[in-house]
Structure 1
């Protein structure tokens, strides 16, 4: 499987990685969820080249994850905002952060806490079954081919 062909795979993860699967794109998205919207803010916070940043932002806009919104007319200046499609990445981002807090934090602990606005408590993401509400872990799920699965492809054996 070639990196530039990921978006053609019969796999939702591969197709997702084709859009957001590099480190700079994930860090751009992190900053979006932290409220960063302007090109120069991204550039300053991330310390990457303008060319690299422009490419990542362009791809996110092309795929409808971000939208450009004018905040000044003369000269025209635009900022980047998460779309509904982009906001739908929040659970995945929280899951990655939670994993990092658990396995990559130093002795001081998590660098950022996520506080639920509704109850005011520090929260941790939990995956639950949409049908019964039970907490779901890796060993609690079976994978079956869906309508979008290519018949010539084979599902891997599950542990």
Structure 2
């Protein structure tokens, strides 16, 4: 028996938020959208998520105006974060830092390091540049491989392979070879 999606009887803002982003896979989909994943097939390949589950989660996120569907080449559409979706960056960032502190894989450190695109310096936990001190907005964050990221030979999908190279957040990743979806 599946759990209901809503938190009936809970009138607080956290419960309402969890109705949109609290289901399994949803925050990973949002994280991947920040990484630059746009195509349905690339979400499937990177996350290993069942297609039906991804369809459901994308419908919820688009219905809540967290993601929007944008026409792309041919008859295909891609997904992009809306302004409302971009506001989830501090949530994604905080949960990632929390996970790195308490649940990181042994040895190796973080899988990815966030840097200020303007000067290449690492970001502090509050997204301030450690060199110039500016608070870096999500569009100016460069995602770089960290010491905990397994080598490129271990990349079993095109998104992981692409993320072995520095990449500005929100910039569309190249399409997977042979995957126009």
**Same fold at TM > 0.5:** yes
Distance 1:4 1:121 in 2: 41
> Is the CA contact 1:91–1:125 (under 8 Å) kept in the aligned structure 2?
no
> Is the CA contact 1:70–1:77 (under 8 Å) kept in the aligned structure 2?
yes
Q: In structure 1, what is the equivalent of residue 113 of structure 2?
A: 113
1:1-159 residue pairs with structure 2 within 5 A?
Answer: 3-6=4-7, 9-73=10-74, 76-105=75-104, 106-126=106-126
CA offsets, 1:107-140, max 9 Å, x none?
Answer: 111111111224432113339xxxxxxxxxxxxx
RMSD value over aligned CA atoms? 1.9
Q: Name the one with the larger helix percent.
A: 1
Number of equivalences: 124
> Is the CA contact 1:64–1:83 (under 8 Å) kept in the aligned structure 2?
yes
Distance 2:109 2:121 in 1: 17
After the TM superposition, which parts of structure 1 deviate over 4 Å for at least 4 consecutive aligned residues?
Answer: none
How far off its partner does 1:100 sit?
1.0
CA offsets, 1:57-99, max 9 Å, x none?
Answer: 01000000000001024xx110000000000000110000111
Distance 1:55 1:14 in 2: 19
How far off its partner does 1:5 sit?
3.0
SS at match of 2:25: helix
How far off its partner does 1:9 sit?
2.6
SS at match of 2:38: coil
User: Runs of 5+ in structure 2 lacking a partner?
Assistant: 128-181
SS at match of 1:86: helix
* Greater RCO (Cα-Cα under 8 Å, separation 6 or more): 2
TM-score under structure 2 normalisation?
Answer: 0.63
